Amino acid sequence: MKACNFLTACGVLFQRVGIKLESSTITPDQLMNIFQKNYDMLLAIFNPEGWLEITYVDESLRIGRDDKANIFVLEKTESSQV
């Protein structure tokens, strides 16, 4: 049985090739196809529905909870003059 190492892996030489994308093109037909296949997902992203519940803590702190189980902590800060 032949001994193998990382570089030759039993007689097969592995090489790594760097790839860099420089440009791409999408045609109107391809774009329409993407929209049609992903219509429900795109509608959910760009036309969201839901609710946000705000809990008053004090003059500078609020806690928000939404229908997707996200929690937001909002703190009022002093406005800085530019």
pLDDT at 9 over 60: no
Q: Residue 44 is encoded by which pair of tokens?
A: 């959910």
- Report yes or no on 11 lying in a domain: no
pLDDT at 6 over 50: no
What pTM was computed for the model?
0.38
- Report yes or no on 53 lying in a domain: yes
Across the range 2-25, mean pLDDT stands at: 57
Q: Residue 66 is encoded by which pair of tokens?
A: 């939404």
Separation of alpha carbons 65 and 72, rounded Å: 6
pLDDT band for position 7 (cuts 50, 70, 90): very low
Angle subtended by helix axes 28-37 and 39-46, to nearest 10 = 80
75 CB-near residues (< 8 Å, 6+ apart): 60, 61, 62
Domain span at residue 61 reads 28-75
Number of domains in the chain: 1
**Strand, helix or coil at 53?**
strand
- Report yes or no on 69 lying in a domain: yes
pLDDT at 48 over 80: no
